[in-house]
Chain A
């Protein structure tokens, strides 16, 4: 058993950082705002996006770092959550939802919860079958699944006459969230909402890895066959963690939709899925704290690229990002497999040859 007091101390410290950063931003009138202190690099937008990605990455780290299952299509679940919220709030009249319901303040919150459960359930059903695959096959299947979801979103779910997803243009005019008469807006309020959820996800992840489930997941990662011999129902645990990661991604997607007020399918395609993997690897996928660390580090880096590189190399703004993401992924995996805060003892990357062979299992 790990020291649970140390864990809650970590959460309190993280919450303190979140509040402090939010406070700094609120101190704008006194000339103390975040952008000013960081030379214009960090805005509240960036922190909100980092919080949203943290929610996705907690799930991804549980899935990849702890259970050892690759997912190259995670952005699909993120997109499903985002489009679920977007469609059912904006297109409510088309779908025959009475405006008395669709315009209430609790409707978007209800959708967020329902979307999370639905996407989680969908992922569980898919996971029971798909997670029988290992290694390359699983990577390819999740990649394929992600692309199928992306194309279906892009093609209006195959129902062109209804125009639910808006095709390439997506859905816009997504309403801001409210609690009774109070708006969760401007951004400073939304920032606290997002990070409250993100820290909740981190707490959930931290509790999970020390629980029965977490130990089962690590056993599955180490040697699936041996774990099954010990009576661990590997396929069910894997499907559960897949469902959990999908549910978290969906929740994050909903938060993203209400933050951006617009969603386009391109945000949830193949390259965004890979960016999530990059963030997970950079933060350290063998630690839950790797989620906020990776999200923050990668977002900061792309912000530097966007705002600074442009002045060094003219005409090159966002294009260089993919190159850097790729180099970062290869470099981190080769030279720094534990990432920013990951543990080597999490047996994800540095196994002795005998253990490695067992981990790869019989299937290639």
Chain B
């Protein structure tokens, strides 16, 4: 294998840098200066942190079960929606109450992830890949439709964590505005990453899950309950999705159909990083977030959402055999 093949990160990184340069050049047309770009990067890193959490959910499920869970976006939507429901209609929100609601929402979504796996995917574990893909698509339709029934089409408001009100606090660093919620988002993502690292490195269950990812048959022969690990992976992915949705809730006004967009962007991030690597997914997510925000700044407003999908199609075409490559083939007997 040629040496440059072994390091796909370089090619992708180079392409990202070139694209960023092109977007910055395009921005000169609008007369953007350094502070504008700094602001784009900060906003992009905020979006990227969310995509990272979603992408990790894809990676965990894919590594353990070999399935890409199209319903992942629905978990992202359920997080804030359930939090708002658990908060109730009270006008003043106390911090413990918000925390308890958020935790309950995360737990409920995690449980739902487990239920989804046991009811919809476990019975189909012997089926064709095509069937599994369509089953997760069906699950997404059910969850989004149920959300529409339960919460209606209107956008909701989740109070900012720092102020417990709609208006958030923010600081100016130079000319760059940093919202308190951005700090919450970065902090939560970092905490989740640390916990995930601890889980996979230090706990027996985490190691068992990694074993399933490397070789399912061998893991089974070693006495690991592969089914249980797959169930856990779905639960974990749902939890990550719900956390992502909740921390971004105060910024984006959650709606019943927000899951599609966030879910797909998380997937793009996961695929940018190779689909099986956690670090890759995080790097991909941050790059995607920044590039997307730059793109949104320099093009038509309505084309904001186009970027991730164009990147997706181009990326997939550039590497037609998939990003998991040799690593994934070795993993999947």
**Which residues of A are at the interface with B, using a C-beta cutoff of 8 A?**
64, 68, 70, 72, 129-130, 132-137, 139-141, 143-145, 147-148, 151-152, 154-155, 158, 160, 270-271, 274, 277-278, 281, 316, 319-330, 333-334, 337, 348-349, 351, 353, 356, 359-360, 362-364
Does B131 have its Cβ within 8 Å of any Cβ on chain A?
yes
Pairs A-B, 3 closest by C-beta atoms:
A322-B145, A326-B141, A329-B138
Inter-chain contacts of A160 with B (CB < 8 A):
300
B141 touches A319 (CB 8 A): no
A360 touches B134 (CB 8 A): no
CA distance A160 to B303 in the complex (A): 12
B138 touches A363 (CB 8 A): no
Inter-chain contacts of A319 with B (CB < 8 A):
145, 148-149
Shortest CB distance A328–B (Å): 8
Contact A327/B142 with A144-B309, A145-B313 known, Cβ cut-off 8 Å: yes
Shortest CB distance B307–A (Å): 10
Does B195 have its Cβ within 8 Å of any Cβ on chain A?
no
Inter-chain contacts of A353 with B (CB < 8 A):
126
Q: Which residue of B lies closest to A337 (CB)?
A: B131
CA distance A158 to B139 in the complex (A): 34
Instruction: Report B137-182 residues with CB < 8 Å from chain A CB.
Output: 137-146, 148-149
B309 touches A148 (CB 8 A): yes
A364 touches B140 (CB 8 A): no
Shortest CB distance B298–A (Å): 13
Report how many residues on chain B are interfacial, defined by Cβ distance under 8 Å: 50
A322 touches B124 (CB 8 A): no
Sampled A-B contacts (24; CB under 8 Å):
A129-B320, A130-B317, A132-B320, A133-B316, A134-B322, A135-B129, A136-B68, A136-B129, A137-B320, A137-B322, A140-B68, A140-B271, A141-B312, A144-B309, A148-B309, A148-B313, A151-B306, A278-B141, A319-B149, A323-B142, A326-B138, A326-B142, A360-B128, A362-B321
CA distance A284 to B149 in the complex (A): 29
Contact of B144 among A155, A322, A327 (CB under 8 A): A322
Inter-chain contacts of A144 with B (CB < 8 A):
264, 309-310, 312-313, 316
**Interface centre among B129, B143, B149, B303, by most A CB within 10 Å?**
B129
Does B25 have its Cβ within 8 Å of any Cβ on chain A?
no
**Interface centre among A271, A323, A333, A348, by most B CB within 10 Å?**
A333
Inter-chain contacts of A351 with B (CB < 8 A):
128
B316 touches A141 (CB 8 A): yes
Shortest CB distance B276–A (Å): 9
**Which residues of B are at the interface with A, using a C-beta cutoff of 8 A?**
66-68, 70, 120, 123-124, 126-131, 133-135, 137-146, 148-149, 260, 264, 267, 271, 300, 302-303, 305-306, 309-310, 312-313, 316-317, 320-322, 324, 328-329, 332
Contact of B131 among A136, A278, A333 (CB under 8 A): A333
Inter-chain contacts of B67 with A (CB < 8 A):
136
Shortest CB distance B250–A (Å): 26
B145 touches A320 (CB 8 A): yes
Contact of A155 among B70, B300, B317, B329 (CB under 8 A): B300
Contact A326/B148 with A132-B320, A151-B302 known, Cβ cut-off 8 Å: no
Inter-chain contacts of A333 with B (CB < 8 A):
124, 127, 131, 134-135, 138
Contact A64/B309 with A155-B302, A325-B145, A326-B140 known, Cβ cut-off 8 Å: no
CA distance A64 to B129 in the complex (A): 12
CA distance A360 to B267 in the complex (A): 21
B139 touches A321 (CB 8 A): no
B128 touches A330 (CB 8 A): no
B139 touches A334 (CB 8 A): no
CA distance A137 to B329 in the complex (A): 15
A329 touches B141 (CB 8 A): yes
CA distance A80 to B63 in the complex (A): 37
